[in-house]
Copies of this chain bind each other. A is one copy, B any other.
């Protein structure tokens, strides 16, 4: 697959003056253990780890992989699809990284992809790298670490980065904001279940795949495809799509049917968007959003400064006793931050 470096996401001038991080060499060489260690730094809550991680991200040269978001509710056969599709890609000599963004992990600590046996064959493939979702911190934090992990995988020379998420609302949007293409995976269903898929998800999907189009489910699968094809036609055509997209099609992770077509559609879409400038425009827009997310996160992080935290506890008690309004107490903390005596 063509690789395009026309889009440096960082300012080399920023690279720290220190000696190069010892992980950089192995990372550029595509060493998977080094990659795993670097990701662990990114996911760490220790500030020295975080600092080293962001130095790493700044020092690493930018490479550009094709980032594919994949969403599907439990039971649609997401793992089997990724396994089959991933093998198809590695079979073409492409290096594939599979990451997961799991909203539930932000709360319950539960994690999809937690257990690689879900994709045994792919996990053993030397051209593949599988990483579960970071399981600590709120969704915003998970998103930040995930997009940094995507950058790492690109720097490590992976060609395709599959970012998987469970179809439960906001997480799809998050994944769509860190990927170039978005694939929605569904199971055969009655037409009446069509409403089950939120309109918002339909609107970010580039391909809607109905899995399990084999055996006795083949008929229902084809009908479901027709239903979604109809629904997709109702959606306003997006400028970043060539004629006829977004598309719905049947696939079978089991028989492998449709997988080649899926890959053909994705490469066609990617090439078309690169030519039309939509590809770069989307990444630019994503970078802008990340900037705003960083800004909000960094601002809120000030509330964790020891002095501020201590005051917040005291004022919180006053508010709880009813001696201060929530608004009034908040104002006092603001003033404290303004006086700059908080750092």
Contacts and interface: CB of A to CB of B under 8 A. Distances in A.
A116 B54 CA distance: 54
A314 to B, nearest CB: 11
A324 B10 contact: yes
Interface string A312-335: 100110011111111111110110
Contact of A291 (B58, B62, B326): B326
Interface residues of A, number: 49
B284 A321 contact: yes
Contacts of A296: 300, 303
Contact of A320 (B287, B331, B343): B287
A219 B319 CA distance: 48
Contacts of A334: 295, 298-299
A7 B287 contact: no
Interface string A270-314: 000000000000001101101111111111101100000000100
A4 B292 CA distance: 45
Give the oligomeric copy count: 2
A8 interface: yes
Contact of A290 (B300, B321, B326): B326
B326 A287 contact: yes
Contacts of A343: 338
A14 interface: yes
Given A320-B287, A340-B340, A293 B326 contact: yes
Contacts of A92: none
A11 interface: yes
Contacts of A293: 326
A298 B331 contact: yes
Given A288-B320, A295-B303, A299-B302, 17 more contacts: A8-B322, A10-B328, A11-B323, A11-B325, A14-B325, A14-B328, A62-B322, A284-B320, A284-B321, A285-B320, A287-B319, A290-B319, A291-B330, A298-B334, A299-B303, A300-B300, A340-B340
